[in-house]
Amino acid sequence: MMNKDETLYPVTKVEDKNMVVLDNALVEARYIMSLNEQKLFLALVSLIGKDDEELKKYFINANALRDILNIKGKNIYDDVKKVARRLVKKTLFIEDKARKRWMEYPLFSVMEYEDGVLYVEFNQKIKPFLLKIKQEFTKFQLKEFKPFKSKYSIRIYQLLKQYAFLGERSFDISDLRLKLGIEENELKQFVELRRYVLDIAQRELNDTPMAFEWEAIKEGHKFTKIRFVLKNKHEAVSVLENSPRKDQQQEEKTEKECNSNTLQLQKQVDLDLINHPDHKEIIGKLILLLPEKERTKNAEQTLLNLLQNYKEDYITNQIEYTNNHNTKNYLAYLKKAADNDYASAERSELENKMKIEQLTQRMQNELEQIKKRQQHDIESHIFGEEKRIYKSYMDSLTKEQQEELWNEFKPKALEKEPGLQDFSLKFEVERLITTKIIEENKALKDRLADLKHRLEQNAAEEIEQKKEQFDEIIKSKKL
């Protein structure tokens, strides 16, 4: 355990209003952390004072982290201990732009937990990114991260706030995955990235200054970039500077005037593009795919806009998708379908559904085969036991008694199945004798019933285990 010397800085409370100041190199860094690992890291950074000359050694009462980590109940000490044990092993990759390479840094030199107290010492190597930062940094209040339940939302919030003054930001999808800590074998399909990262972050950031819309940009048949556009640039910039913008009204007025002039110019450019021979022919074909009531000038403009980013066959697929879905605003839905490739997503879902149905049928067939095999095994076991009963009984008789018994049951066998000869006749006579032996002996009857029960029970357990395995496989495919 770290010695409790005079350099230690005690912390009994971590305030929501604490400022987190991150060098932009840290905002841009690549690392993999869980939700609470990120929140604990940011809480620890918030303890650094703006005038601190050195990174201090902190010891923190675990209870002080309860609100920051959204931990309720009595598990705060165990939870902090678990998070700390994982976080101390974390490293992050920071880009060294001068040398054009990424450098790996451990975050902490010490992080230990004992008796409800967390001892922390930052790695001195990251001191330049945490102390006396005068330029190229982004500020947050700790409370800004508190509502988030997705680890990706925290990172997207940071990355958007860094560029809030621009009002938008674009990423190569491969780079965004690294910044968000998405591992290579995770969320491989774009539809997964959209469902588990982008859509969730959009919902969680919707009530914050970094509320955004996003679009996916395609190159060929593959999405390669994501563009985020802030819904309210002025609010975002105001939060970025931690003060109201004094010139906001004037800026809005100037922006409106610029937009008006730009709009007039854009209308003329759009008209020229629509009348271009190549575009005119393509738009003419595409517009015929739309429902008749949607074939308007606005539709032509929408199709023209789509042609700036997508190929004709791609737009055709999105139109067919939109035609199959009832929408109040057809053109808006068509644009959204194209931007998010709903047609491919639907095909992927349908293909996945078909694969699951085929897999389910195959597994059901396999279960039926297992049941048939089990029934055969049970019958074989019972038959074997009956053979032993027959042999034991016959061995207890004299030769004369055996012949007498044979002569008694042979006519019965022939009466039941005339024409039996040799082996078949012998088998049927033995079966009839065995049945009589068992019927007249309760102990033997109970023994056979118990054997059958145990065999059927084992078979049922095997089927149940197989079903559970199959259910897990199906579940993994659905995810």
Report yes or no: 56 and 5 within 8 Å, Cβ to Cβ.
Answer: no
Residue with tokens 């705060």: 76
pLDDT for 349 beyond 70: no
Render pLDDT for 33-86 as a digit per residue (tens, 0 to 9). 999 999 999 999 999 988 888 899 998 988 888 877 777 766 788 888 889 999
- pTM, entire model: 0.52
Please state at what angle helix 442-478 crosses helix 342-395, rounded to 10 degrees: 170
* Residue 123, pLDDT score: 94
Residue ranges of alpha helices (H) inside 188-311 are: 190-193, 199-205, 233-241, 248-275, 277-287, 297-307
Contacts of 330 by beta carbon, 8 Å cutoff, 6+ apart: 290, 291, 294, 322
Domain 147-245: give its CATH code: 1.10.10.10
The backbone torsions φ and ψ at residue 114, rounded to the nearest 5 degrees and listed phi first, read: -155, 135
pLDDT for 16 beyond 90: no
- 283 pLDDT band, cuts 50/70/90, is confident
Chain-centroid distance, C-alpha 123: 32
Q: Mean pLDDT across the stretch 380-405?
A: 92
Report yes or no: 155 and 180 within 8 Å, Cβ to Cβ.
Answer: yes
Q: Mean pLDDT across the stretch 163-181?
A: 91
Domain 1-140: give its CATH code: 1.10.10.10
Query: CA 172, 174, 177: angle at the middle one, nearest 5?
Result: 110
pLDDT for 105 beyond 90: yes
* Residue 367, pLDDT score: 87
pLDDT for 228 beyond 90: yes
* Residue 238, pLDDT score: 67
Find the length of the chain: 479
Amino acid at 30: R
pLDDT for 158 beyond 90: yes
Regarding predicted confidence, which is higher, 258 or 8? 8
C-beta neighbour count of 359 within 10 angstroms:
14
* Residue 239, pLDDT score: 66
* Residue 73, pLDDT score: 65
Distances (CA, A) of 463 to 68, 362, 438, 474: 48, 15, 30, 16
* Residue 351, pLDDT score: 59
How far apart, in whole angstroms, are the C-alpha atoms of residue 165 and residue 236?
7
* Residue 409, pLDDT score: 92
How far apart, in whole angstroms, are the C-alpha atoms of residue 253 and residue 32?
43
Regarding predicted confidence, which is higher, 42 or 323? 42
Q: Mean pLDDT across the stretch 257-277?
A: 43
* Residue 274, pLDDT score: 44
Regarding predicted confidence, which is higher, 252 or 362? 362
Helix (H) / strand (E) containing 383: helix 342-395
- 242 pLDDT band, cuts 50/70/90, is low
C-beta neighbour count of 476 within 10 angstroms:
8
Render pLDDT for 193-218 as a digit per residue (tens, 0 to 9). 999 999 999 999 999 999 999 999 98
pLDDT for 176 beyond 90: yes
Mean pLDDT, all residues of the chain: 83
* Residue 142, pLDDT score: 92
pLDDT for 263 beyond 60: no
Of 123-127, 165-169, 268-272, the one with minimum mean pLDDT is 268-272
* Residue 61, pLDDT score: 86
Amino acid at 179: K
Report yes or no: 33 and 61 within 8 Å, Cβ to Cβ.
Answer: no
Three-state secondary-structure class, residue 218: strand
pLDDT for 271 beyond 70: no
Report yes or no: 78 and 112 within 8 Å, Cβ to Cβ.
Answer: no
Residue 2 structure tokens? 């770290």
Half-sphere exposure (CA, 13 Å, Cβ side) for 99? 6
Distances (CA, A) of 166 to 22, 170, 228, 235: 19, 11, 11, 12
Domain with CATH 1.10.10.10 in the chain: 1-140, 147-245
Given the DSSP bridges, would you call strands 101-106 and 57-61 parallel, antiparallel or unpaired?
unpaired
